[in-house]
Amino acid sequence: MHTVEACIINEELAYGCSGCSTAVEANTLAQMPLILAGNDFIKKKYLGRMTEAPLKCAYGVSEAGAGSDVAAIKTRAAKKGNEYVLNGSKLWITNGGVAQDDDGNDGGWYFVLAVTDPDAPVGKRMTGFVVDANTPGISVGAKLVNMGQRCSDTRPLFFDNVVIPEENVLGAEGAGFKVAMGAFDNTRPPVAAGAVGVARRAMDEAYKYSQERNSMGVPIFDHQSVAFMLADMATGIEASRLLIYKSGYEIDSGRSNTMFASMAKVFAAEHCNKVTMHKQVEYWRRWWSVDGYHAKLRVCEWTFFSYFERSMTSKRLILNCCF
């Protein structure tokens, strides 16, 4: 599937439920390092599973002290003969719990980034591994209660002397940072499309409410100030979508889209914030904070897009490097 097609699908999924779209897109994020750096054996063994059964996998990079600052990760993988022994923990891992098979069978798996040479420069310090989720020594923490996207399974992972065969190294030892970051060029456009889906849903709900709510004898939509808010919502949504399609088209054409992908993520996420938090709250006033109202759900959902796949500030740092 092309990236542009994935963007179209993810926008529609997020329109209905951004938590579901996140669970689906997290599978893509975990698979991307294998697509980019895995050999034929790895691809057939682990990507093949994903087409044979409805499985989940997870991207294990973030830690308690290493979110956008990936270079700060502490999880270690020490080589012992033809194997690596993994120790450490990961945090905020989407699909962390659902990637495991309760029966202990071959099921889901994790992409894990770990330090293999702590004395090397950042670009050669880490190695990427694909790790079977049911490997002895892996434990999964309690499901974190997110402010929004409650159906998305987000948990900590713990690794206690987890043995990984050497054949499960992605690329080469020391190439993990490049592999992990390269995945984002492919997955940021669909994630940004999710922000468009949430913003579009919020705008549709705001428009419907503006037709139902009367003020001064007329629907509030008939007041120019309210109509202008809707105009701003629609304009930003269309602009976000076109920037997302541009970033997807570039990577589908075999060209680097790093700059456009970061632009799309920043612009779409921040416009989603404006639509859900700023403008929709102005529409609904006190009702936005009441349980059961769609406005509250949209406000809770937008926050995810501001930090998933690194923060807005890190995206701007990437953009500065592209000039």
The domains of the chain are located at 18-173, 179-322
Measure the CA–CA gap between 158 and 178, rounded to whole angstroms: 24
**DSSP helix/strand/coil, 83:** strand
Mapping DSSP to helix (H, G, I), strand (E, B) and coil, where does residue 157 land? Answer: strand
- Rounded Cα distance, 311 and 309, in Å: 7
Do residues 14 and 195 touch, judged by C-beta distance below 8 A? Answer: yes
Going by pLDDT thresholds of 50, 70 and 90, the confidence category of residue 54 is: confident
Q: List Cα–Cα distances, 316 to 263, 267, 312, 321, in angstroms.
A: 8, 11, 6, 9
Question: Closest Cα to residue 97, out of 150, 53, 133?
Answer: 133
Round to whole Å and give the CA distance between 22 and 93. Answer: 12
Question: What contacts 93, CB < 8 A, 6 or more positions away?
Answer: 58, 59, 60, 62, 110, 154, 155, 156, 157
* DSSP annotation of 109: E
Check residue 137 and give its pLDDT. Answer: 97
For residue 2, give every residue at least 6 positions away whose Cβ sits within 8 Å of its Cβ, in sequence order, or none.
Answer: 248, 252
Q: Which two tokens stand for residue 178?
A: 């490049």
For residue 296, pLDDT over 60 is answered with no
Q: Any idea how long the chain is? A: 323
pLDDT value of position 305 = 67
Look at residue 290 in the predicted model and tell me its pLDDT. 47
| 254-274 confidence digits (pLDDT tens) | 999 999 999 999 999 989 988
| Cβ atoms 233, 208 nearer than 8 A | no
Instruction: Characterize the bridge pairing of strands 169-170 and 126-132.
Output: antiparallel
On average, the pLDDT of the chain sits at 87
Pairing of strands 109-115, 154-165: unpaired
**Residue 312: what residue type?**
M
Structure tokens at 191: 């994630």
H or E element in which residue 132 lies: strand 126-132
Class of 179-322 in CATH: mainly alpha
Per CATH, 18-173 and 179-322 having the same topology is answered no
pLDDT-derived band of residue 107, with 50, 70 and 90 as boundaries?
A: confident
The model's pLDDT over 114-157, given as tens digits with 9 standing for 90+, comes to 999 999 999 999 999 999 999 999 999 998 877 767 778 889 99
CATH of the structural domain 18-173, one choice from 2.30.40.10, 3.30.70.141, 3.40.50.1440, 2.40.110.10: 2.40.110.10
Per-residue confidence (pLDDT) for residue 38, from 0 to 100: 96
Nearest Cα neighbor of 88 from 108, 60, 57, 109 is 60
pLDDT tops 90 at residue 51: no
